[in-house]
Amino acid sequence: MAASAGPEIERLIALLAKLPGLGPRSARRAALALLKKREQLLEPLAASLAETAAKVVSCSICGTPDTRDPCSICSDGARDNGLICVVEEAGSLWAMERSGAFRGKYHVLGGLLSALDGVGPEALRVAELVGRVKGGEVREVVLALPATVDGQTTAHYLAERVAGNGVEVTSLARGVPVGGDLDWLDDGTIVQALRARRPA
Amino acid sequence: MAASAGPEIERLIALLAKLPGLGPRSARRAALALLKKREQLLEPLAASLAETAAKVVSCSICGTPDTRDPCSICSDGARDNGLICVVEEAGSLWAMERSGAFRGKYHVLGGLLSALDGVGPEALRVAELVGRVKGGEVREVVLALPATVDGQTTAHYLAERVAGNGVEVTSLARGVPVGGDLDWLDDGTIVQALRARRPA
């Protein structure tokens, strides 16, 4: 590393390099940009991070990071309490919200079951989900988990855990993405899209 | 944007997206990682940025960002005051330092002349450089500027401004990079390497 950069800057670079999407080199560039734009970037970012660290908590009901607990979604009376969408991370939740297609509540697992990484149910917010389902108000649990091995393993596990409480467990449809060209689709997706074909 | 993320998180994402190498999507991922790793990442980064904003100043002599002024390089008596290496940004300075090949002092321009972006000499630390040269102690000015149009324009301009003070103005050699395969080199580099060929 650059001895001349000084310990504070090297520490900043090391921390930036831990962000997904940034490596050692791009972290150095980022640190440089921060040092060049003190008023516009460095100081606002420092303040924003401090504010986030101070204010943002994860919702005690669904696990979404928010400044209020229960979060703005859980405390939104206009949303359907009978419908719970289970997502891996807040990122998926934000994506669902951008789509504007879902008007129920959410449950953020905080990860996926993974034999390789040794992630078991106790590491995820599974017990909380079962608790919410046993609460009685829930009619349907929509599993919006990634179409990966871990994602599907987790989905099957959750379906079993949640079953038998008079709840319907569904999961997002698989198929050709909007604008998806068959030439570019993997076989798995085509197989799924064909199996799930419907009258045009 | 995700309304559900809340203003604080959206603001953090917007600021992260301004970092080079991060776009709106990766900034979202980064914010998510920060929220997941509060103790290991979010709080240390907030503290580190605050410390940098508070402590780091740019050296009044060479313009390097450092916690001391003059910076650790300018105040290093073991370094040759007669040799000044002119770089675009601190990033280039750090790269030179990592190479360990240069034992003189530096001068950080803070950018390059650019007709397109309307960057003139007054926007760069050119006057300071001329001042240091007129100081008399300087024997040689090494221009370590990028081999781009702006970089070379700046180099020519600086060579003219600095000339006539009994200083030698040099610039880094061009040629085949170490480990460079001719197949992968652009013609310009090959032409330069051929022109500058030397007895093996």
Question: Domain holding B25: CATH number?
Answer: 1.10.8.420
Kindly state whether residue B2 falls inside one of the protein's structural domains: no
- The ipTM of this complex is 0.75
Kindly state whether residue B124 falls inside one of the protein's structural domains: yes
**Single residue among A37, A55, A73 that ends a domain in this structure:** A55
Task: State residue A111 phi and psi, 5-degree precision.
Answer: 150, -170
Kindly state whether residue B161 falls inside one of the protein's structural domains: yes
Kindly state whether residue A60 falls inside one of the protein's structural domains: no
Q: How confident is the model at residue A4 (pLDDT cuts 50, 70, 90)?
A: low
pLDDT exceeds cutoff 90 at B171: no
Residues A150-170 have a mean pLDDT of: 91
Q: B119 forms bridges with which residues in the sheet?
A: B114
Neighbouring C-beta atoms of residue B198, cutoff 10 Å = 6
Is B21 in Cβ contact with A29 (below 8 Å)?
A: yes
Neighbouring C-beta atoms of residue B154, cutoff 10 Å = 25
Average pLDDT taken over every residue of chain B: 89
Of A152, A109, A52, A96, the residue nearest B46 (C-alpha): A52
Instruction: Identify which has the larger pLDDT, B194 or A43.
Output: A43
- Considering only the beta carbons, identify the residue of B28, B89, B91 that sits closest to A94: B28
The dihedral over CA atoms of B40, B91, B10, B52, expressed in degrees to the nearest 10, equals 60
Is A45 in Cβ contact with B30 (below 8 Å)?
A: no
Same domain? A82 vs A141: yes
- Considering only the beta carbons, identify the residue of A3, A35, A98 that sits closest to B2: A98
Percent of all residues in chain A with a pLDDT value above 90, rounded to a whole number: 60
Same domain? B188 vs B133: yes
Q: Which residues of A touch B41 (CB under 8 A)?
A: 15, 18-19
Average pLDDT taken over every residue of chain A: 89
Residues B28-46 have a mean pLDDT of: 93
Give the number of A-B residue pairs with CB atoms closer than 8 Å. Answer: 177
Of B109, B156, B140, B173, the residue nearest A36 (C-alpha): B109
- Model pLDDT for residues B63-86, shown as the tens digit of each residue: 999 999 999 999 999 999 999 999
Same domain? B70 vs B44: no
- Model pLDDT for residues A69-123, shown as the tens digit of each residue: 999 999 999 999 999 999 999 988 988 888 888 899 999 999 999 988 899 999 9
CATH assignment of the domain containing B106: 3.40.1360.10
Q: How confident is the model at residue A1 (pLDDT cuts 50, 70, 90)?
A: very low
Q: Which residues of A touch B71 (CB under 8 A)?
A: 4
Instruction: Identify which has the larger pLDDT, B11 or B189.
Output: B11
Same domain? A38 vs A131: no
Same domain? B72 vs B31: no
Instruction: Identify which has the larger pLDDT, A67 or A198.
Output: A67
Specify the pLDDT at position A16: 95
Specify the pLDDT at position A191: 79
Kindly state whether residue A125 falls inside one of the protein's structural domains: yes
The minimum CA-CA distance between A73 and chain B, rounded to whole Å, is: 7
Chain B residue closest in CA terms to A90:
B32
User: Which of A49, A97, A103, A108 is best to mutate for the B interface (most B CBs within 10 A)?
Assistant: A49
Structural domains of chain B, count? 2
- Model pLDDT for residues B112-170, shown as the tens digit of each residue: 999 888 999 999 999 999 999 998 899 999 999 888 889 999 999 999 999 888 899 99
Asked whether the bond before A146 is cis by omega within 30 degrees of 0, the reply is no
Specify the pLDDT at position A107: 96
Same domain? A136 vs A178: yes
Instruction: Identify which has the larger pLDDT, A193 or A166.
Output: A166
Specify the pLDDT at position A164: 84
- Considering only the beta carbons, identify the residue of A2, A56, A90 that sits closest to B98: A2
Contact yes or no for A158/A129 (Cβ under 8 A): yes
Kindly state whether residue A1 falls inside one of the protein's structural domains: no
Q: Determine how β-strand B140-143 pairs with β-strand B104-108.
A: unpaired
Same domain? B39 vs B71: no
CB within 8 A of A82, min separation 6: which ones? A104, A137, A138, A139, A140
Same domain? B40 vs B125: no
Same domain? B84 vs B174: yes
Same domain? A167 vs A104: yes
Same domain? B24 vs B69: no
| Helix or strand run (H / E) with residue A57 | strand A57-58
Q: How confident is the model at residue B200 (pLDDT cuts 50, 70, 90)?
A: low
Q: Residue B72 sits in which domain range? A: 65-199
Kindly state whether residue B160 falls inside one of the protein's structural domains: yes
What DSSP character marks residue B163?
A: -
Is B2 in Cβ contact with A56 (below 8 Å)?
A: no
Q: Which residues of B touch A97 (CB under 8 A)?
A: 2-4
- Model pLDDT for residues A44-72, shown as the tens digit of each residue: 999 999 999 999 999 999 999 999 999 99
What DSSP character marks residue A83?
A: E
Contact yes or no for A31/A37 (Cβ under 8 A): no
Same domain? A87 vs A175: yes
Specify the pLDDT at position B154: 94
Candidate from A13-22, A70-79, A154-163, B187-196 with smallest mean pLDDT: B187-196
Kindly state whether residue B30 falls inside one of the protein's structural domains: yes
Percent of all residues in chain B with a pLDDT value above 90, rounded to a whole number: 60
pLDDT exceeds cutoff 50 at A2: no
